[in-house]
């Protein structure tokens, strides 16, 4: 073969190899680029999925919150709000001007202008409720976060606490003042008129007993409100039997008829001490507020997995408008008669707490001048 031909063939082969190598490298680069794109797409997809999960989590958190949350942009546009905010503010607001009451708008503007976090409480809506909003500046662009919460229950509890302190102070002050007056009278009468000493000594004893009852009831009520473990097997019929003699004596002294009908009942899981308080307060009330010649009936029965205690009387009764409040501490329908009969105003509140601690219910039916009936239902112990 001619040398020239050999050289041409070699050059052709070399050129073919060079082209093949370039094409392979190009293919490799293309494949690498495709792989990079694929990995980038997968990473981006993961990030988007993570963002969706975060957004979903945030949405679930905001939706489950009892507090309302409203994020307001500097322009006044509401960027974010949760269902609680719409419920508490009574509207679905798109701008800050749609947020009511006006006091909340003022608090938000103050926070946006660089003021400290400002809390505002207003009474709004029908039925009326108290709502507190706290405006907080977020970021440096003038955005404001408005956190709204319903404080109606907190307001009610605070009012109850104030009333309790005022009532307790008043109730304790009255017998204390009587004891002091009786003591001073006895001291001066010891020389001037000894004949009055027995009368004032009796008054002293009566007021001291009343003071002791108030303190005892307050301690019982405080213990019941904190709750305690209830792990005894208690027979309510046995509890009533233990109190029977005292009830019958009180009824005789009051000149009324007392009937006690105890049917067969299952045990209750609870506290014998607290159940004694429940029975004692209900029967004492029935006897105390029934005039001579009347009657009080105590019945105990089992019904549908419950132990039912009924205490009915033919006494003075309770006006219908007063029934919703009779379980409040120190609440009395007739204050003068309650003091006359020695009541502390805490008995029915104790009854309510005992029943609730035992997982039961208490109801009352009454008619002014024709008597009252309390019915307590307590779950029987599971055997």
Q: What pLDDT does residue 228 have?
A: 67
Q: For the beta carbon of residue 316, count every other beta carbon within 10 angstroms.
A: 19
Q: For the beta carbon of residue 83, count every other beta carbon within 10 angstroms.
A: 14
Q: How far apart are CA 49 and CA 204, in angstroms?
A: 80
Pick the closest to residue 374 from 285, 275, 251 (CA basis): 285
DSSP per-residue codes, 178-232? HHHHHHHHHHHHHHH-GGGHHHHHHHHHHHHHHHHHHHHHHHHHHHHHH-----E
Q: How far apart are CA 338 and CA 167, in angstroms?
A: 14
- The answer to whether the beta carbons of residues 44 and 36 sit under 8 Å apart is no
pLDDT over 70 percentage in the chain: 74
Q: What pLDDT does residue 345 have?
A: 80
- The answer to whether the beta carbons of residues 190 and 197 sit under 8 Å apart is yes
Phi and psi torsions of 185, nearest 5°: -65, -45
Compute the residue count for the chain.
Answer: 383
- Over residues 85-135, the pLDDT tens digits come to 777 776 666 666 666 677 777 777 787 777 666 678 887 777 778 888 888
- Over residues 306-336, the pLDDT tens digits come to 999 999 999 999 888 888 888 888 777 665 4
Residues 6 or more apart whose CB falls under 8 angstroms from that of 241 comprise: 262
Topology annotation, domain 157-226? Helix Hairpins (1.10.287)
Question: Whole-angstrom distance between the N-terminal and C-terminal Cα of the chain?
Answer: 114
- The answer to whether the beta carbons of residues 105 and 120 sit under 8 Å apart is no
Pick the closest to residue 343 from 326, 357, 355, 360 (CA basis): 326
Phi and psi torsions of 328, nearest 5°: -75, 150
- The answer to whether the beta carbons of residues 89 and 68 sit under 8 Å apart is yes
At the top level of CATH, the class of 231-383 is alpha beta
> Residue 320 has what DSSP assignment?
G
Q: What pLDDT does residue 18 have?
A: 54
- Over residues 232-269, the pLDDT tens digits come to 889 999 999 998 888 999 899 989 999 999 989 999 99
Query: Which CATH code of 3.40.50.11540, 3.30.450.20, 3.90.1580.10, 3.40.190.150 fits the domain covering 65-150?
Result: 3.30.450.20
Q: What pLDDT does residue 152 have?
A: 82
Comparing 52-66, 137-151, 218-232, 239-253, which segment has the lowest mean pLDDT? 52-66
Q: How far apart are CA 153 and CA 73, in angstroms?
A: 32
């Amino acid at each position: 073969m001619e040398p020239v031909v050999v050289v041409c063939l070699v050059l052709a082969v070399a050129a073919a190899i060079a082209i093949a190598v370039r094409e392979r490298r190009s293919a490799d680069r293309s494949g690498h680029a495709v792989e990079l794109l694929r990995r980038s797409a997968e990473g981006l997809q993961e990030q988007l999925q993570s963002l969706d999960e975060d957004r979903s989590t945030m949405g679930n958190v905001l939706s489950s919150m009892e507090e309302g949350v409203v994020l307001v942009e500097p322009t006044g546009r509401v960027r974010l709000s949760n269902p609680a905010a719409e419920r508490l503010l009574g509207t679905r607001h798109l701008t800050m001007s749609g947020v009511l009451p006006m006091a909340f708008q003022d608090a938000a503007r103050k926070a946006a202008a660089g003021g400290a976090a400002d809390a505002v409480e207003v009474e709004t809506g029908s039925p009326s409720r108290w709502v507190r909003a706290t405006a907080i500046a977020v970021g440096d662009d003038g955005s404001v976060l408005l956190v709204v919460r319903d404080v109606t229950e907190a307001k009610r509890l605070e009012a109850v606490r104030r009333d309790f302190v005022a009532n307790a102070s008043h109730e304790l002050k009255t017998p204390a003042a009587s004891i002091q007056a009786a003591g001073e009278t006895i001291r001066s009468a010891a020389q001037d008129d000894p004949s009055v000493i027995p009368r004032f000594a009796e008054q002293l004893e009566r007021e001291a007993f009343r003071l002791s009852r108030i303190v005892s009831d307050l301690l019982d009520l405080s213990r019941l409100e904190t709750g305690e473990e209830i792990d005894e097997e208690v027979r309510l019929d046995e509890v009533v039997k233990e109190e029977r003699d005292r009830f019958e004596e009180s009824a005789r002294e009051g000149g009324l008829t007392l009937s006690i009908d105890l049917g067969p009942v299952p045990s209750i899981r609870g506290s014998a001490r607290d159940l004694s308080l429940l029975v004692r307060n209900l029967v004492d009330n029935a006897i105390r507020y029934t005039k001579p010649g009347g009657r009080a009936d105590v019945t105990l029965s089992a019904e549908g997995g419950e132990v039912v205690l009924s205490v009915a009387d033919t006494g003075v009764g309770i006006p219908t408008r007063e029934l919703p409040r009779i379980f409040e501490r120190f609440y009395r329908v007739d204050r003068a008669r309650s003091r006359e009969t020695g009541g502390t105003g805490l008995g029915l509140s104790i009854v309510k707490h005992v029943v609730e601690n035992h997982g039961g219910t208490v109801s009352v039916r009454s008619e002014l001048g024709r008597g009252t009936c309390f019915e307590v239902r307590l779950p029987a112990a599971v055997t």
